[in-house]
Amino acid sequence: MDKPFPPVSRELIAALKQSFPDQVPNISDDDRKVWVKVGQVSVVRFLEKQLEEQEDNILNPKVINDV
């Protein structure tokens, strides 16, 4: 069984979105720069999905500790 993904915070996602915004590349960007930006946004989206799954999981450690 795979290890669970470490907790992701909303603050982390907000900081990453500010640093790596999901926007159309500049026309002057070369291919390599475009692919780097695509990779950055892909990681942010992945972490957003992890956060969503953490918040949807009723067995979330935060929920267990609050009981």
pTM: 0.77
Tell me, what's the pLDDT at 65?
A: 54
Tell me, what's the pLDDT at 63?
A: 54
Question: pLDDT tens digits, residue range 2-59?
Answer: 788 899 999 999 999 999 999 998 999 999 999 999 999 999 999 999 999 998 876 6
Report the candidate in 45, 57, 38, 36 with the shortest Cα–Cα distance to residue 16: 45
67 token code pair: 């009981």
CB 50 within 8 A of CB 31: no
Question: pLDDT tens digits, residue range 13-23?
Answer: 999 999 999 99
Tell me, what's the pLDDT at 32?
A: 97
